[in-house]
């Protein structure tokens, strides 16, 4: 079962890219694409999201489903936690610092997920900093082409070769569709207009493919509610304070 699921997911990702590039059209440079994408979400300073999260463990052939609350603050503050279960699973990202807590225990730094949250693409505010972040993920910003993805025409920023770090941005709406780098893939779909001119995905899929099956991670997010610019306490993202709270336990 596990090998079959892994094969199907790999086939899905592979199929998404087996499409011809589209020629004979003017292609914007990556700097302009990113700038237009950032401007699309310029009014978003904070986000609060409630979602249904499903984690697939191929090694143990199990699934775990739970409600999750996500808090985001521009440009790079992120916190997720299981709804109604304090300390069950908390992930905090503050710039380059990451803290992960599972069942009330702090996960050792070497085991923390260093994934660049897909949500940061939609609260970036500063296009120059986002370009720098994408470059650090290994994306070739000098290479841009047009392709089809999920039935839509998209800008492909990065090399075309399979497995290359890349970012796909919808050509018409300038919203991010896919982010891939290293062993990480984020895919977003089912965009809905949450306010005039502002679209946000209702579905996201994150996967990490390691060398062994026990290293494989797949998380599926189905967004239920999205609140734009709610008041959020900045201490929710204070990594040292949160770490000290759980160290005392």
Summarize pLDDT for 30-39 with one digit per residue, the tens: 999 999 999 9
- Asked whether 62 and 54 are in contact (CB, 8 A), the reply is no
Please give the angle made by the CA atoms of 222, 41 and 157, to the nearest 5 degrees: 85
7: pLDDT strictly greater than 50: no
Q: Can you give the pTM of this predicted structure?
A: 0.85
Give Cα separations from 27 to 65, 127, 154, 162, 208 (angstroms): 41, 18, 11, 21, 31
Tokens (6 digits) for 38: 């950032």
Fold that domain 2-248 belongs to in CATH: outer membrane lipoprotein receptor (LolB), chain A (2.50.20)
pLDDT digits (tens, 9 = 90+) for 78-99: 999 999 888 899 999 998 889 9
pLDDT in tens, 152-173: 899 999 999 988 999 999 999 9
> At 25, is the pLDDT very low, low, confident or very high (cuts 50, 70, 90)?
low
């Amino acid at each position: 079962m596990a090998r079959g699921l892994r094969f199907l997911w790999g086939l899905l990702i592979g199929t998404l890219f087996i499409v011809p590039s589209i020629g004979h059209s003017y292609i914007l440079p990556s700097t302009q694409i990113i700038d237009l994408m950032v401007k699309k979400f310029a009014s978003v300073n904070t986000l609060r999201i409630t979602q249904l999260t499903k984690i697939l463990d191929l090694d143990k052939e199990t699934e775990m489903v739970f409600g999750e609350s996500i808090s985001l603050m521009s440009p790079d503050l992120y916190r997720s936690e299981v709804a109604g279960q304090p300390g069950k699973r908390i992930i905090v990202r503050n710039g380059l610092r990451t803290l992960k807590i599972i069942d009330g225990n702090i996960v050792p730094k070497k085991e923390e997920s260093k994934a660049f949250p897909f949500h940061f693409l939609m609260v970036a505010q500063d296009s120059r900093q986002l370009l720098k972040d994408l470059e650090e993920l290994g994306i070739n910003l000098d290479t841009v082409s047009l392709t089809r993805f999920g039935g839509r025409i998209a800008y492909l920023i990065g090399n075309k070769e399979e497995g290359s770090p890349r970012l796909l941005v919808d050509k018409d709406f300038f919203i991010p569709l896919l982010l891939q780098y290293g062993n990480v893939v984020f895919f977003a779909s089912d965009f809905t207009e949450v306010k005039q001119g502002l679209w946000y995905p209702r579905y996201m899929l994150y996967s990490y493919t390691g060398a062994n099956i026990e290293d494989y991670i797949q998380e599926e997010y189905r967004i239920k509610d999205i609140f734009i610019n709610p008041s959020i306490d900045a201490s929710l993202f204070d990594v040292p304070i949160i770490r000290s709270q759980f160290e005392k336990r």
